[in-house]
Structure 1
Amino acid sequence: MDHHHAGRVEAALSAGGAARSALVASWQRSASLHHLRPGEHRPPNRVDDRTLSRHREGSSHLLSVVQPNLDHLYAAVGNSGCCVLLADKDGILIERRGAIADDETFEGWGLWTGTVWDERSEGTNGIGTCLAEGRALTVYRDEHFFTRNIGLSCTTAPIHDEHGQLIAALDVSSCRNDLTRDVMRLIAMAVTDAARRIETENFRRAFSKARIVIVGEESSLGPARLIAVDQDDLVIGATRAARQFLSLSSEQMRIPLPASDLLADRRDLAQSGLEKAERSALQRALARAGGNVSAAASQLGISRATLHRKMKRLALRHRVP
């Protein structure tokens, strides 16, 4: 089995399959970039307790957000003989959930806090490849690079912070040989959903004093597209999914952007900046006055006739004549 898997990996690399397959591309990185050999046998790479503590401290804010989500995810998948793992951006496992009866087995496989699962150490695997490619994926048994890892099945989703930066990977792994691809697909959905909840909660905490707005149509299938809007109607934060949806670069996000500019419809785009500001001011005054034009005009310090002219020009309606 060892020789067969190593030969399969080497044959795929020799055939130049990296251009056609994301899996083979990861195998290629493992062999060419990290100088690993599929058949080599060595124990998992583990950091010492001091290093692990340092990495946990560096992710302390995330850990405070993630704990209940790890518990919820483990409650959903634990009976399938799986463990739940959280790795930081360096691929170091900093938190886990698993059955006590399976601890010895999982620790032997390296599915334990302090183990390093980046591609540099373990070649193609769920956590390392997710961090390298920044996407959710499943690595099923002999899709792993190392022969010693082909008994594992891993499904992983990336976690991005409030600035859209990749900071962690959430993983469910199993060493059961009867775990089918269909079951792994169901587990992958649970992992992706948990990662979405973590990103959303982290974003809301980071911008706790701002108004959180969903951009576009909300979907339960992908990461949340959220923006944070302050009291001046300026966008001060956006999730990675929102940045992609709105085509916002990190450079553009360095300075707060008017929410109306990002969320404008075609009619708004045809208006000048002054018209947009005037329209917003009139709408706020009318809202405060319950639609009463006379009261709104009094708030604004203009006559009722002047307000009517402005409303007609800007196509504003009111509920009370």
Structure 2
Amino acid sequence: MQRSSPPAPTALPWHPAAGSDVQRSARARQRFFGEGVPPAGQVPDAVWHSWQRCLQSGLRPEQRPAFEPVSRSKVSYLAGRDHVLLKAARRPFDELQAMVARSRCKVLLADRDGVLLRVTPAGPDDSPLVKASCRTGVHLGELLVGTTAPTVAARTGANCAVGVSEHFYDALRDMRCVAAPIRNRHGVVVAVLDLSIESQPFGFDALWLVQAYAGTIENNLRIAQTRQQVLLRLHSSAAALQTPGAGLAAVDEGGRISWLNGLAAALVGVNASDARQFKADELLGCSVEQVLARSALHTPQPLLLPNGLTVWMQAEYRDLGDGQGEAEDDARTPLAPSPAAAPIATDTAKPLPSAATLAQLNRQLIDLTLAECHGNVSQTARRLGVSRGLLYRRLREDG
């Protein structure tokens, strides 16, 4: 007897039409806000907890969210503070934006506090809500716009999807958004990459896509922040070592692992957050001297790891430099100050005695001076009496 084949699926697994998720979320939302019934198991815990925080802060779902931009001087300051992040995100952001251009999705890059650093601009056919939110400098903090994927991802440090009826505000009920965090070399969340769409499903696995591009930005950022260390690329294929999917690790001058990305951690068999307690010979089976020797070869070499895996590795020593290359790049494309801002009276500012004092400066003083100079790093360095390169390095170290 011939066995019948299973019926073909009528929708893709991630497509909202694949089940009653939308209806279930709507019912859970109605019961929670109307009757106080906890929606455990019906909406993600992170979303439910965000609803609770919003209510405890005095917000109400029927209110209109405030898509208010920060000041122009603050935008310029953030551009200066996050210039390494923005440079790391430039190409991945452009690629992702081009990929989804015909899908009506918007790509958003927000900093650790929820302020938009880059965003796909709204088009003439977009709703007033999208036009209000898709502007550089708009603050997407939870207490301003309620529960969204960027706010949840920034708070939890985990990938997040917020679907129809899962936003806190009623006005956002037709929005779908997915977001992934971006961490610096210390493992601290410094930004969030988001995809959002209104009044229609994504039609593709948006969460996987945004996670992949957030990982590329994170790798670029960590590479840019690696100085006076050996950068290692690891993969099962030598041809894949220079691709965004390569495992990455850094070894400091003492032979300790400075950081690992996800793939490198999986290959050596540790959690990325625990990497700093290990030395290179423990995880890689070679000393810092051997790692440095491999960096002089400039070609991929096979490496037998202590756990028995054989991988390809390419090592590159990244010198500290003086930061002048990045400073000159930024000098050719100056950070835009506020058109309405009054000029800074530099003749009253007393420069600090020498560049050596920079290590003793309070970060608050640097941030304040940078804000007063509207994000202009060159002017900030002159007021502090230090070089631009030294100031860039301090911003990188603290970023």
C-alpha distance after superposition, 1:178-201 (max 9, x if no partner): x226x2x52222211111111112
1:211 and 2:234 correspond: no
On the 8 A contact 2:178/2:207 being kept in 1, the answer is: yes
C-alpha distance after superposition, 1:244-283 (max 9, x if no partner): 9624657x83x7x42112346xxxxxxxxxxx97xx98xx
One-letter code aligned to 1:49: R
How far does residue 213 in structure 1 lie from its aligned partner after superposition?
Answer: 4.2
1:28 and 2:47 correspond: no
SS, match of residue 143 in structure 1: coil
Q: 1:146 to 1:241 in 2, by over 3 A?
A: farther
Q: How does 1:1-321 map to 2 (within 5 A)?
A: 7-11=30-34, 14-17=36-39, 21-22=44-45, 23-32=47-56, 34-98=57-121, 100-102=123-125, 105=128, 108-175=131-198, 177=199, 179-180=200-201, 183=203, 185-207=204-226, 210-214=230-234, 226-230=248-252, 233-239=255-261, 246-247=270-271, 253=276, 257-263=278-284
One-letter code aligned to 1:237: W
Structure whose residues are more often helix by fraction: 1
On the 8 A contact 1:210/1:229 being kept in 2, the answer is: yes
RMSD: 3.6
How far does residue 52 in structure 1 lie from its aligned partner after superposition?
Answer: 1.7
Aligned mates of 2:235, 2:280 — CA distance in 1: 11
Q: 1:122 to 1:106 in 2, by over 3 A?
A: closer
Question: What is the TM-score of this pair, normalised by structure 1?
Answer: 0.67
SS, match of residue 157 in structure 1: strand
How far does residue 241 in structure 1 lie from its aligned partner after superposition?
Answer: 7.5
Q: Corresponding residue for 1:291? A: none
Q: 1:15 to 1:215 in 2, by over 3 A?
A: farther
Question: What is the TM-score of this pair, normalised by structure 2?
Answer: 0.55
Give ranges in structure 2 of 5+ residues lacking alignment: 1-25, 294-399
On the 8 A contact 1:9/1:38 being kept in 2, the answer is: no
Q: 1:133 to 1:223 in 2, by over 3 A?
A: farther
Aligned mates of 2:63, 2:80 — CA distance in 1: 33
Q: 1:107 to 1:132 in 2, by over 3 A?
A: same
On the 8 A contact 1:229/1:259 being kept in 2, the answer is: yes
Aligned mates of 1:66, 1:146 — CA distance in 2: 30
Aligned mates of 1:18, 1:54 — CA distance in 2: 41
C-alpha distance after superposition, 1:6-48 (max 9, x if no partner): 7444147x2233587412222112212x321111125423212
On the 8 A contact 1:160/1:240 being kept in 2, the answer is: no
Q: 1:202 to 1:9 in 2, by over 3 A?
A: same
How far does residue 81 in structure 1 lie from its aligned partner after superposition?
Answer: 0.7
Q: 1:57 to 1:103 in 2, by over 3 A?
A: farther
On the 8 A contact 2:65/2:169 being kept in 1, the answer is: no
Aligned mates of 2:31, 2:234 — CA distance in 1: 46
Q: 1:110 to 1:24 in 2, by over 3 A?
A: same
SS, match of residue 100 in structure 2: helix
Give ranges in structure 1 of 5+ residues lacking alignment: 265-275, 285-321
Tell me which moved more, 58-67 or 21-30: 21-30
Aligned mates of 1:84, 1:120 — CA distance in 2: 22
SS, match of residue 246 in structure 1: coil
C-alpha distance after superposition, 1:95-130 (max 9, x if no partner): 112464457746534122111112122111111111
One-letter code aligned to 1:261: E
Q: Corresponding residue for 2:323? A: none
Q: Percent identity?
A: 25
Q: Corresponding residue for 1:315? A: none
Aligned mates of 1:9, 1:40 — CA distance in 2: 17
The answer to which structure, 1 or 2, has the higher relative contact order (CA under 8 A, 6+ apart) is 2
On the 8 A contact 2:149/2:179 being kept in 1, the answer is: yes
